[in-house]
A and B are shown apart, each in its own frame.
Chain A
Amino acid sequence: MIAEVLAVACLVIGTAFNCLGIIGLLRFPDVYTRMHATTKMTTFGSVFTALSVIIYGAGQFLGTGDGQYITLSLHTVLAALALAVTNAIGSHAIARGAHRSGIRPAQAVVDRLGEVPP
């Protein structure tokens, strides 16, 4: 019962952050600032969605003792870890590619990378 309430709460938090990420994509001015909203906020949201599955699986395992729920929870942990690591590396690659192809950050107050010779 408690596990189900917690799972739904995590689901709500995750969905809310995913929505805010999409709004950020529409509002921000250039590729770098948009990446702050989309890649990271949606990672956080998706991790919370995964957390709700983990809590649900753990609750069901404690209730029924059925081994398949442990499998469900552990696989979701691995999925969340893979998501976090690949998202970080992917957004790093996009940002580096954008800067190398000459896109300057919009409205920037400082650009230390632009001062370094490539």
Chain B
Amino acid sequence: MYPEETGPLSQRLLRDSHVEQVNDWTKTASVRRARMIAYLVTFIMALLLYLVFSAGSGTLWLWSPSELLAGFLLSLLTAAVAGKVLCRGKDYRMANPVRLLILPVYIIGPFFIEVTRANLDVAYRVITGKIRPGIIRVPSGMKTDFGAFLLANSITLTPGTITVDISEETNDLFVHNINVPAGWETRDTVEARELFGLANIPAWIRRIAE
């Protein structure tokens, strides 16, 4: 019923909004069920976020009864207003609790180690002034947009590398390196694995997002 998840993002969004219009005219049971799931997922996420924000406000475990009631009502309101917008993808892979739990483990573990190592490297370059900048092409190897987004952000947050641009057709990243290792300037592409020294970051991201 839905078009395949391929092609550049801009075209895909256009197609999705078109599908949305068609659905408004012919409301079937499956569409109503999809809407219900979207509302439910948004409600749970909003409630969890509210609970984190208001933890420590009272004696009922960590929350006060009035905060719990306010959170419940506000989450219902949020789901009613924003459910359709926030869950547009019709793909609830990321609502899986296991994936959501691996994400903080990834951030605290391998990602933090990698960022620390790279920060010390850039600190050394700030002090000595030894730089060899350049923009290289990195095939991300990610099939989904969220995976490519996570990899691009991980590369950007690791000092010494910034994602400058992304090719929407192939999900290739263009990465500015502050210190291009010798030999890389003649290669057409560099694997994402080689940008990180210690931890296998692309494998972790694939575990989370794909």
Contact between chains at B157 and A95 (CB < 8 Å): no
Residues of B within 8 A of A113 (CB): 135, 137, 164-165, 174
Contact between chains at A33 and B62 (CB < 8 Å): no
Contact between chains at A95 and B176 (CB < 8 Å): yes
Q: Interface size class for chain A?
A: 35 or more
Which residues 146-160 of B sit at the A interface, judged by CB distance below 8 A?
A: 152-153, 156-160
Residues of A within 8 A of B119 (CB): 17, 40-41, 44
A111 and B135 contact, Cβ closer than 8 Å, known pairs A74-B55, A78-B52:
yes
Interface centre among B137, B152, B162, B184 (most CB of A within 10 A): B162
B136 within 8 A of A: yes
B57 within 8 A of A: yes
B1 within 8 A of A: no
Q: Interface size class for chain B?
A: 35 or more
- Distance in angstroms from A114 CB to nearest chain B CB is 7
Partner of B158, one of A40, A78, A89: A40
Give B residues with C-beta under 8 Å from A: 52-59, 62, 115-116, 119, 122-123, 125-127, 129, 131-137, 152-153, 156-160, 162-165, 167, 174, 176, 178, 180, 184-186, 188
Q: Can you give 28 A-B contacts (C-beta < 8 A)?
A: A17-B123, A20-B127, A23-B127, A24-B125, A27-B126, A36-B122, A37-B159, A41-B123, A44-B115, A44-B159, A70-B56, A71-B55, A74-B56, A75-B53, A78-B52, A92-B152, A92-B156, A92-B163, A92-B164, A95-B164, A96-B164, A106-B133, A108-B134, A109-B134, A110-B136, A110-B185, A112-B136, A113-B137
Residues of A within 8 A of B185 (CB): 109-110
Residues of B within 8 A of A84 (CB): 157
Residues of A within 8 A of B58 (CB): 67
Contact between chains at A27 and B129 (CB < 8 Å): yes
Residues of B within 8 A of A116 (CB): 167, 174
A88 within 8 A of B: yes
Residues of B within 8 A of A99 (CB): 135, 164-165
Partner of A108, one of B122, B133, B137, B184: B133
Which residue on A lies nearest to B190, using beta carbons?
Answer: A112
Contact between chains at B122 and A37 (CB < 8 Å): yes
- Distance in angstroms from A5 CB to nearest chain B CB is 20
**Complex Cα distance A75/B129, Å?**
38
Which residue on B lies nearest to A35, using beta carbons?
Answer: B162
**Complex Cα distance A111/B159, Å?**
19
A95 and B55 contact, Cβ closer than 8 Å, known pairs A27-B126, A112-B137:
no
Which residue on A lies nearest to B116, using beta carbons?
Answer: A44
Write the A29-64 contact mask toward B (1 if CB under 8 angstroms, else 0).
110110111001101100000000000000000000
Residues of B within 8 A of A36 (CB): 122, 159-160, 162, 176, 178
Partner of A33, one of B59, B115, B133: B133
- Distance in angstroms from B144 CB to nearest chain A CB is 18
A101 within 8 A of B: no
Instruction: Give me 14 other A-B pairs in contact (C-beta within 8 A), A20-B127, A41-B159 excluded.
Output: A28-B126, A33-B133, A40-B122, A43-B157, A74-B56, A85-B153, A88-B156, A89-B153, A95-B162, A96-B165, A105-B135, A106-B133, A108-B134, A113-B164
